[in-house]
């Protein structure tokens, strides 16, 4: 796992306006400095709403902590008559490095399926953004003990038509839906079971060299108090953090897990 730099990504979801964003990012940077965060030991990324991206861009400009940022969604299309949508080029122009694709809330509330997630993943890569592709099962699937197969089918759907070279650069986030925003955390062993299965599947399909480069995150009620045990798992390379990323001290402590 040494080759893969841990990634701590904070998904703000539909919270905070561009004024709140100033306070949160400033406090996050101060706290990381206070805790002697070493950017070589974990990469810290914030994922604000579209309307806050310009503000975040201004705040992190020239920041020596190298705080990264990105968006929570993108259009699969280049541009044109798609009212309300945001293109990859627009995100690139705002300095985004990352974009979340296929979050369970988009799958649930916007009907995104494997084809949509695949089209958005391809578009992100084509435009130079690193997609954070979200996969994972709901409670019924977990109870039926189908969580590994179900999650692998999400991965297979999301990555259709990608080359091994494209795959090596992407980030996959395993998020069991029953553990998102519920305070219900999968055990470190649960996280490892599925993250390990994803990496084995990648290795079988695309080869070890590719599989070894893909960063696989765990997401679902990650907090400062549980991050270390999750990060101790060999196939977990970081966390996608929702609620706790809205508290700068908490998120800084998560980023400073090492
Ligand atoms: C998420 O939605 O990506 C997430 C992990 O949320 P939370 O940390 O709040 O469970």
Active-site option among 43, 112, 137, 175 = 175
The verdict on the CB of residue 242 being under 6 Å from ligand 1 is: yes
Domain coordinates in residue numbering, the chain? 7-255
DSSP annotation of 219: E
- Gap from CA of 80 to ligand 1 centroid (Å): 32
Other Cβ atoms less than 10 A from the Cβ of 184: the count is: 12
219 lines ligand 1 (CB under 6 A): yes
Per-residue pLDDT for 85 more than 50?
yes
Sign of CA dihedral 100, 119, 88, 77: negative
Given 37, 43, 103, 137, which residue is catalytic? 103
* 97/61 Cα distance (integer angstroms): 13
Q: Which fold does the domain 7-255 belong to in CATH?
A: TIM Barrel (3.20.20)
What count of other Cβ atoms lies within 10 Å of the Cβ of residue 108? 11
% of the chain at pLDDT higher than 70? 99
Q: pLDDT tens digits, residue range 150-196?
A: 999 999 999 999 999 999 999 999 999 999 988 877 899 999 999 99
- Does 220 contact ligand 1 (Cβ within 6 A)? yes
The ipTM is 0.95
66 included as an active-site residue: no
* Residue 62 predicted with pLDDT over 80: no
Residue 209 — pLDDT band, cuts 50, 70, 90?
very high
């Amino acid at each position: 796992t040494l080759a893969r730099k841990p990634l701590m990504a904070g998904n703000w979801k539909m919270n905070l306006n561009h004024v709140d964003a100033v306070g949160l990012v400033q406090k996050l940077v101060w706290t990381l400095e206070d805790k002697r965060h070493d950017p070589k030991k974990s990469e810290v990324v914030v994922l604000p709403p579209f309307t806050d991206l310009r503000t975040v861009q201004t705040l992190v400009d020239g920041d020596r902590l190298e705080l990264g940022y990105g968006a929570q969604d993108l259009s699969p299309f280049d541009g044109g008559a798609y009212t309300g949508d945001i293109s990859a080029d627009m995100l690139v122009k705002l300095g985004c490095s990352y974009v979340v694709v296929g979050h369970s809330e988009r799958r649930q509330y916007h009907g995104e399926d494997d084809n949509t997630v695949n089209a958005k993943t391809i578009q992100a890569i084509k435009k130079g953004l690193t997609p954070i592709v979200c996969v994972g099962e709901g409670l019924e699937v977990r109870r039926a003990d189908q969580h590994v197969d179900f999650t692998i089918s999400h991965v297979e759907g999301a990555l259709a038509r990608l080359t091994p070279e494209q795959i090596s650069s992407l980030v996959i986030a395993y998020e069991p839906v029953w553990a998102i925003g519920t305070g219900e955390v999968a055990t470190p062993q649960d996280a490892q079971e599925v993250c390990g299965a994803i990496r084995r599947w990648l290795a079988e399909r695309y080869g070890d060299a590719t599989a070894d480069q893909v960063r696989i995150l765990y997401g679902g009620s990650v907090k400062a108090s549980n991050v270390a045990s999750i990060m101790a798992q060999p196939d977990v390379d970081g966390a996608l953090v929702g609620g706790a990323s809205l508290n700068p001290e908490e998120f800084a402590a998560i980023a400073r897990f090492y």
